[in-house]
Amino acid sequence: MILVRTIQQTVAIGLIALAFVTANVNDSNAQSRGPARTNRVTAGATNAPRGQVLQNSARQSKYGATSHRSDSNTRVRANSRQPSAVRTASTPAHLGAVRIGQAVPEQVLAEPMPQLHGNSVIADDDAVHVGNEEAAMHVLAPQACNYPCDPMGALLDWSRADLWLGVSGFSGPSNFITSGSNSSGQVEGSFGFHEGINLGSSLPSLLCGQLGGQVGVRAVQAQLDGSAASADSRNQFFLTGGLFRRVDYGFQGGLVVDYLHDDWFYQADLLQLRGELSFLLTPCHDLGFRFTSNEQTESVQAFLGTGPSPVTVDIATLETYRFFYRYLFGDCGRGQAEFNIGFTEDRDTMLGTQISTPLQGQLGLQTTATYMIPRETASPAYASEAWNIGLAIVWTPGRGFGGGRDYYRPLFDVADNGSLIGRIVR
C-alpha cells in the first residue's frame, strides 16, 4: 500500500508541476520577446502539422470545397478548431503560434479569403492577413474583424462533443452480494444499454488557455427483466468532470472526478479521482500511466429477494493503476487504439483495450473491454473478478469522427463499469 500511495502521489505532483512549469515558461517568454515583432511567415511555417498549405494551383479540401489563389504567396490556413502551431509541453502563445481569439498585432492587414470551418465555408471578411508578399498566414481573429462572437461559444462548442448509444455487459464484486447462508442471490453478469454525452471546452482564463475542461454523463439500463437477486432492474448514472491539457509532443495529462449512482436491489453513491500522465513520442504514439483513487465508502442495505431481511455491506471504488499505450491509425489518424495493463490495491491484475474507428462522416464505432483477474488467494475467485464489455455508435456533431486535432476535445472518456469498479469492503 505504501508503494501504491507513493505512485499515486507522484502522478498528482507531476500534473501540478506540469501546469506550474507551463505557466512559468509562458511568463518568461512574454518577458523576453520584447516589443519587436516580425511580420514574416517563412516557408518553414508550412511544416506546422495544424496548418493547411495552399500552393499556386487549386486544392481540393477534405470537406469538398475548392480554394484558389491569385498571387504568388504561400498561405497557411488554420480553422478555429485547429491552431496552426504545434503545441508542446511548454508552448507559449505568441506570434509564432497565433492563438484563435488572441489580439492581433498592428501589422495584421485585412484581406478577404474563404476559410474552412467545420463542414462549411465562412464568409471572406472573417479572415485576416498576416505577413508580406513572400508568405501569408490566415487565422480566424474575431477581435480584428468584428466577427459576431457568441459569448458562450468558447464554452459550448458542439464540435467538441461526443454522443453515443450502445450496449454493455459487466460484472463485479457488487454482483455477488449474498446473505452469507446461500449463493442463490448472486448474479453472474449484467447486460443492458448505455447512452451519454461528453463535452470539452477551452478555459481561456486558466494559464492563458493552456488547459481544457470537460464534463460528461453516461446512463446505463441493465437487468431489464430482473434477476435472481431481485425483480428490480438496474439503473446507473455516471458523471465525470475535470481538467486536462493536450499537446502534440511531450507531456500531457489531466485529472477528473467520477461519480456513480447505482440503483438496484441496493442504492449506492460512489466517488473516485481518475488521473493520467502520458508522453507523446509523436502525435500518433502515446505512452502513459493512469490511476483511480477511492474517495468515498458507503454503507448500504441490500434487499435480496432470497432473504427475509436486508444485508448491510460497505461498498467503495476499486483503486487501480494501469500503464497504457495509445496509437492513432488509419486515414489522417482518425482511428484510435489503446491497450493497458496494471494492478489493483488488492494485487489483482488489470487488462484492457479500447478501439475507436470511423464509419462514415461524423459516425464512428467504439469498442471497450476490461478484465480484472483475481489474485490467487481470493476466495471464491469468481466473486472477486470484474469485467466490462461495451459497444457503441458515436456521433461527433460539427466534425468528422476522429478528425480535427483539437486541444480541447475531452481527454478522458466518461466513467463506465470498466474504469469505475465497485468492491465490497471486508
pLDDT single digits (tens) 158-214: 889 999 999 999 999 888 887 554 455 567 789 999 999 999 999 887 788 889 999
Question: How many residues are recorded in the chain?
Answer: 426
Provide the domain limits for residue 70: 39-145
In a domain? residue 11? no
Does some domain include residue 27? no
243 and 203 in a common domain: yes
Domain boundary among 80, 114, 145: 145
Residue 378: Cβ within 10 Å count = 16
If asked whether residues 219 and 349 sit together in one domain, one would say: yes
What's the pLDDT score for residue 245? 95
Asked if 98 and 217 sit in the same domain, the reply is no
Q: Is the pTM of this model over 0.75?
A: no
- Cα separation, 118 vs 286, whole angstroms: 26
- CATH number for the domain including 234? 2.40.160.160
Domain boundary among the residues 145, 169, 194 is at: 145
Boundary residue ending a domain (125, 145, 165): 145
Handedness of CA 317, 319, 325, 326 (dihedral sign): positive
Conformational region of residue 107, where left means phi above 0, alpha means psi within -120 to 50, and beta covers everything else: alpha
The set of residues, in sequence order, having a beta carbon less than 8 Å from that of 359 and lying 6+ positions away, is 365, 393, 401
Please give the tally of structural domains in the chain: 2
Residue 23 is assigned to a structural domain of this protein = no
Q: Say whether 16 sits in a helix, a strand or coil.
A: helix
- What pLDDT sits at residue 152? 52
What pLDDT score was predicted for residue 17?
57
3-state secondary structure of 399: coil
* pLDDT interval class at 12 (50, 70, 90): low
Place of cell 499505450: 325
Distance CA(125)–CA(68), nearest Å, equals 16
